Structure 1
């Protein structure tokens, strides 16, 4: 941000010329601008498992096994008609303290139910399945000034591909992962006929066996695209909080987490995953400290939701609309964003999935506007073709 822009912001705020009173707005603090952290859950989170509409008369019959825990021990989320799964207790606490809001029917325009296409559409942020840059890279370009973007990933994600690249800091260092594609073939050729080549082939076979074991448990690791597993997220969140607190210039941040493609045995698998995710988010809050938490927006999302009806193996399949979480110290929380019209078949997408009533691009644009005071013209360059309204 230039000195002229800073002077303008200060003057405008002093005169009341810029309103920060919108639904997403952060209340003024000592900081001039905020921070946006996007936590992307790869695999397609079943939002109806995390935050369940128990007041809907059809919920229990559509999910005879997956509804038991929340019907017995769900934590009410105000008068929304939703309850939080016990695994999400830390998130329910943030909701009650006014630091978290949720949208049950959020998503992108994608209807393919393909992990990879849906993830690409989200990360590109242009309303298309192809593009030359991701929305985070375009946002970093619009903000300009000193480098202020960081990706807590092993590689630069599609969201950050483009003219302005982030710093990269992989915090999940406890997991060995082999290269893939042409790089793997090059490594194989380099070690062919050597003892190291034999060891390499053994490692490849071991990784394949682990992937097969995960698939038997109802997971599809391929949908994670190399993202850190959710099992290590508490430590990752702790480290992220420390990095961001000590480096205030990082005002755009991204992390992806895998482990949410639950076709089978969902109660056990997703309960563990959500416990770790929820604990990680409140750990991030603690490590950021009050001042940095107040200027931070945490936007949690997945490429799509899951089917409303559970399947025959105690899981759910790929769907459409899903759960969005918005957390932060100055978020206007304790409420539902967008709308929810119930689980009647007539209100579902193709009679089986939640519809999308809140487009991710609207959520992202609103957060970026309030974090960085960006005008509509800049937001249109970052998120072209955005719907510009909460209901679609």
Structure 2
């Protein structure tokens, strides 16, 4: 049996003590909440180039600024609405677009500006805070704070699949994690020993058996089939949990840092994103109609290509939305243009709205969270503005 990391259940101090000896651990993160609506947040690590993923090819300046990068239908992208075109590696998602279950938001960002550090940008994205609220970032992530303002949330599992802990669901509210990444082989004898060790502990006996069953039945999670299969496994694992009592999930996909050879680098990363979204759709079945998926990145990339057939760290970018609960078939957001005087710092796509506002409006519609709680507790100091109407 191959298991890719140790199960790590996060919760009370008592749970923490027992976990020290447990051989599984975790980074897709999930939590239970009342109701039937479901929310999945996918953190796209490495700063996805939104100008390439959802190409504003109707803006004639894009071709002038990116002469060596593929642009628009002539470069293999699929026209969406006469102005935006979808990157060829996201083409498997086109049926969702046509069904109104896929949409995008352009020219959005967190409040993070100018430093363009992956670490700081990701921390701010997951913490959901503003630039001047460093202390608040230490209090955990915005999905965890969402749980604290929900009416009667259940103390249910949270799973994490990936390389690292996710700040977005860390905090005071109860959650758990599971991450298959580093290969870890368990012999039948070792599994028997674990069963004996946890024989009198119903909580960890169940968790150990559950993780072993998942690993045995999901070899792609252990690395077979490459990154795309692993991304699909993340989506499939999340869907399986969300068909039960879990209602909120978060996991991360990496590989979006495209300083050089962007055609290949971003293509691979977007293929993984497509696989994860489709696995969620397929795994959720009828529950897909009650699901909203938000795929967000720490910042965008420069409008101009660099000398290495890539792009550098920027500011505004794009967010992907999917699920039967969204009002898809549309690219939301105010397009700022790429002309002289329209770029941020004369190099980046100008942000025209805070990406947190879209997440907040999604949570208001899905879970009935009051606006005041979203603007003060979940996303401190956020002005949600008007409802963009992203939910069906």
Q: Which of the five TM-score ranges fits, normalised by the shorter chain? A: 0.7 to 0.9
Contact 1:52–1:70 (CA under 8 A) maintained in structure 2:
no
Which residue in the other structure is 1:253 paired with? 249
Change (3 A) 1:130 1:46: farther
User: Could you tell me whether the CA contact under 8 Å between 1:33 and 1:373 is conserved in 2?
Assistant: no
Aligned equivalent of 1:232: 230
Give the Å deviation of 1:93: 2.6
Other-structure match for 1:86: 88
Asked if 1:167 is matched to 2:162, the reply is no
The residue that corresponds to 1:267 in the other structure is 263
Flag as ranges the 4+ runs of structure 1 deviating above 3 A: 153-156, 171-176, 228-231
CA distance in 1, matches of 2:184, 2:303: 34
**Hey, what's the Cα distance between the residues in 1 that align with 2:350 and 2:72?**
25
> What do the CA deviations read for 1:136-191 (whole angstroms, capped 9, x no partner)?
11111222431246242355421122111311121445589xxxxxxxxxxxxxxx
Q: Aligned partners of 1:279 and 1:120: how far apart in 2?
A: 25
Find the aligned partners of 1:352 and 1:147 in 2 and give their Cα distance: 46
Does residue 386 of structure 2 align to residue 361 of structure 1? no
State the SS of the aligned residue for 2:332. Answer: coil
RMSD: 2.3
Q: 1:32, 1:43 → 2: CA distance?
A: 34
SS of 1:145's equivalent in the other structure is: coil
Assess, with a 3 A threshold, how the Cα gap between structure 1 residues 65 and 130 changes in structure 2: closer, same or farther.
Answer: farther
Comparing 374-383 and 325-334, the one that deviates more:
374-383
Specify every segment of 5 or more residues in structure 2 that has no aligned partner in the other structure, as ranges. Answer: 1-33, 186-225, 388-392
Give the total of aligned pairs.
Answer: 306
Equivalent pair of 2:289/2:323 in contact (CA under 8 Å) = yes
Q: Does the C-alpha gap of structure 1 residues 288 and 173 become closer, same or farther in structure 2, counting only changes over 3 Å? A: farther
Query: Is residue 146 from structure 1 mapped to residue 154 from structure 2 by the alignment?
Result: yes
Where do residues 108-119 of structure 1 align in structure 2 (5 Å cutoff)? 108-111=110-113, 112-119=115-122
TM-score w.r.t. length of structure 2: 0.73
CA contact (8 A) 2:232 2:278 kept: no
Cα separation, 2, equivalents of 1:168 and 1:285: 22
CA contact (8 A) 1:262 1:316 kept: yes
Which segments of 5 or more consecutive residues in structure 1 lack a partner in the other structure?
1-30, 177-227
Pick one of 47, 52, 55 that aligns with 2:50.
47
- TM-score calculated relative to the size of structure 1: 0.73
Counterpart secondary structure, 1:236: helix
Name 1:135's counterpart in structure 2. 142
Separation of aligned partners in 2, 1:159 and 1:109: 16
The 3-state SS of whatever aligns with 1:150 is coil
Identify the match of residue 286 of structure 1 among 268, 274, 282. Answer: 282
Give distance in 1, aligned partners of 2:110 and 2:351. Answer: 7
Find the counterpart in structure 2 of residue 376 from structure 1.
371
What CA distance in whole angstroms lies between the structure 1 residues aligned with 2:135 and 2:80? 38
**3-state DSSP of counterpart to 1:123:** helix
Of the three residues 234, 239, 242, the one matched with 2:240 is 242
CA distance 1:364–1:108, shift in 2 (3 Å): same
Q: CA deviation at 1:234?
A: 1.6
| 1:35 Cα offset (Å) | 1.4
